[in-house]
Each structure stands twice: as C-alpha cells, then as structure tokens.
Structure 1
Amino acid sequence: MPRPQLSLKARALKYLSSREHSRLELARKLSPYAQDDDDIEALLDWLQESKFLSQERFSESLVHRRSARYGNNRILSELQSHGINGEALGEVKLELTQGEAERAREVLRRKYAEPPEDAVARAKCMRFLQQRGFSHRAIQAAVKTAWSEESDDFD
C-alpha cells in the first residue's frame, strides 16, 4: 500500500525539523509539490508568524556552520544567495569581521603544519585562504602570525 502524500504544510515542517531554512530555500523545495490550489507564500507567512521559520535563526545557523572553515566574503555571498539582505546582513557582517583574522589563522594552521619556507609557499597559503573567502587584511595577518603562537596551544 503506497504511503499517503504529505501536505505542503507537513512537508515544510518536516524540512524545518531537520535544519533551519531560509524563506527562499524553503519555497524552492516546496514548489515541486504544490498543487494548483496551494499558496506557498501564505504558508511561508504562516510559518514565519508561528516562529517556525526565522531568517535570523537561519543566518546564525549558517554562520555557525561555515565560520570555522570559510571567510567573511564566502559566508556573506552564501547568505545573499539565500535571500538574506539589508539590515540582517549588516549585523552578520559586523559580527564576522571581529574574528576573521583569528579564524584565518586557525584554518591555515589546520591545513599547513609548518610555516611557508619561501615566497612560493607563502603565495600558496595566501591563495588557499583567498579561495576560502577571507579578506586581504585577514590573510596578511594570518600568514604573519599563524605559526608564531604554537606554544600557546599547550599552556
């Protein structure tokens, strides 16, 4: 006997129970299952009013998942691709900027155990951090200080 098909509301709640979603992302996931009489926008409005769907929680969740591996540029562009704009994006940017150099140092230490020996190796380290979305200022600080604090890890 086939399973009964989930309603659009049940499907949305199922998605939201597994992890936070942005409004845009949830609308994309629900659209293939919408019938002619279903109103996705009304459902999304109801989910936001009921506090099941929150752009702030989604932003915090994405930043938390990505900040240990990626830089501000990459995280902010991912937030924009999920439809997070305006004031919420400005708040996240301010929070991320404060610790970007330290995060870049940690990423660099995890990837490279030893400091670069020459300019070619240093450039390779810098390109790696740039691909991860770190700012030029954070990259410069990380390359200069990443290996000078090794004894602090064991104190």
Structure 2
Amino acid sequence: MTEAENSPAAPERPGRTGDRSVRVIGIVIAVMGIVFLVAGITTYAVVSSTLGDEKITVSDDADHFAGKDVKGPFTAYAQADVIAKHAEEIGGGKTYAELAQDDPNRSTVMTASFLRASLFTSVVAFGVAAFVAVMGVLLMLLGWALMRVGRSTA
C-alpha cells in the first residue's frame, strides 16, 4: 500500500452549493424571526388595547398596582388576585363549587370566578406574546449567524 492510501482522506470543503444553502437557510430563519417578532409585539399590543378598552381599574385594596388601569400582565394578575380575595369573603371561604345551589352568594362567586379566568387568560396571552417575540429575536440572530458562516466559507 502506498502512503496516500494509508492516510485518512482530508475532509472535503463544502462547495459553493453548500455555502449557498447555508446562506439561504440563514435568510429563511432570519425572516421567520422577523415574522415571530412582529407577531409577538402585535399580539401583546392587541391584548393590551383590548384589555384597556374594558376600563378595568385595579381595586384600591389590591396588594400591588391599586388604582392603575388594567392594561398589562401585572395589573391583570393583581386584579385577578383581589377578585379572588373578594370572592372568598363573599362565599365565606368557599368556592363556587362548594357553595350550596340555593346560596344567594353563589352567582356572585361564579361571576368572580369567570372574571378571574378571563384575566388569567390575558396574563397567559401576554406571556405567549412575549415568548414569541423573544423567539423571533433568537431566530434572527441564528439566521444572521448562519448567513455569516455561509459567507465566510465561500
């Protein structure tokens, strides 16, 4: 055997097609990142605007954000928390499901439960929107990195 046959083959350098593929994938990922970022910010703004249109104000006896308009995740959570406190007082420490069907407070506690659920839904929507926006930024960075790698190997 010759020396050339015994030596391991040198790793092949990707050709122009491989370089172009990396750049194209980088561009696609970066564009998806932009879409995610815009979608996340838009969703956050729409949820905030819609919640603000309800003209809800955090109760004065809330632990945090008392008197503030409910337009964001923290004020929505604070109002949901104070609603729970009020419902517990009205229900005598019992939840809607625990109250007797003929209890006159059952309807009020049920409404409080629905209001809390709605506010918690908006808190989750804010969280998902923020997550999508952050993922958009990460995708843009990944796409940028891939475009640079594709460019540097050319």
Note whether the superposition's TM-score is higher than 0.5: no
Give TM-score scaled by structure 2 length: 0.27
Give TM-score scaled by structure 1 length: 0.27
Q: Quick one: higher RCO (CA 8 Å, sep 6+), 1 or 2?
A: 2
